[in-house]
Chains A and B, each alone.
Chain A
Amino acid sequence: MTTTRRDFLTAATAAAGAAMTGDFSHANAQGHDHEHQAVPSDLTLRVKALESLLVEKGLVDRAALDALIDTYEHKIGPRNGARVVARAWVDPAYKQRLLTDSNAAIAELGYGGQQGEHMVVVENSPKVHNLVVCTLCSCYPWSVLGLPPVWYKSAPYRSRSVIDPRGVLREFGLELPEDVEVRVWDSTAELRYLVLPERPAGTEKMSEEELAALVTRDAMVGVAKVSLSQAGGPA
Chain B
Amino acid sequence: MNGVHDMGGMHGMGPIQHEKNEPVFHASWEGRVFALDVAIDSRDKWTGDAERHQIELISPAEYLRMRYYEKWLAALVELMVKSDLVTRAEIASGKAMDRSSKTSHVLTAAEVPAAIASGAPASRNVPAAPHFRAGQRVRARNMHPVGHTRLPRYVRGKLGTIERDHGVFVFPDTNAHFLGEKPQHVYSVRFAARQLWGEQAAPMDCVYVDLWDDYLESA
Contacts and interface: CB of A to CB of B under 8 A. Distances in A.
Interface string B157-178: 0000000001001100000000
Interface string B25-69: 111110111111011100100000000100100000010111110
B99 A54 contact: no
Chain B interface residue bracket vs A: 35 or more
A183 B87 contact: no
A191 B31 CA distance: 25
Given A16-B91, A64-B108, A185-B208, A159 B70 contact: no
A67 B152 contact: no
Interface residues of A, number: 98
Contact of A189 (B31, B70, B89, B212): B212
Contacts of A63: 108-109
A53 B19 contact: no
Contact of B52 (A66, A137, A187): A137
Contact of A69 (B25, B40, B66, B205): B25
B77 interface: yes
Interface in B106-131: 106-109, 111-113, 115-123
Contacts of A112: 117, 119
B35 to A, nearest CB: 4
A113 interface: yes
Contacts of B34: 68-69, 72, 147
A16 to B, nearest CB: 4
B185 to A, nearest CB: 11
Interface stretch (A84-92, A150-158, A200-208): A150-158
B99 A184 contact: no
Given A50-B77, A57-B96, A136 B119 contact: no
A89 to B, nearest CB: 24
B92 A159 contact: no
A28 B22 contact: no
B16 A181 contact: no
29 contacts: A17-B88, A31-B67, A36-B26, A37-B27, A48-B32, A49-B94, A51-B36, A53-B95, A56-B96, A58-B99, A61-B107, A63-B108, A66-B35, A66-B109, A71-B112, A114-B38, A117-B120, A118-B123, A137-B52, A143-B119, A149-B18, A155-B10, A156-B13, A158-B13, A166-B202, A181-B205, A182-B205, A189-B210, A189-B211
Given A32-B65, A162-B8, A163-B8, 16 more contacts: A17-B88, A20-B88, A20-B91, A58-B99, A65-B32, A65-B36, A114-B119, A117-B121, A135-B6, A155-B64, A158-B8, A181-B206, A188-B150, A188-B210, A189-B210, A235-B20
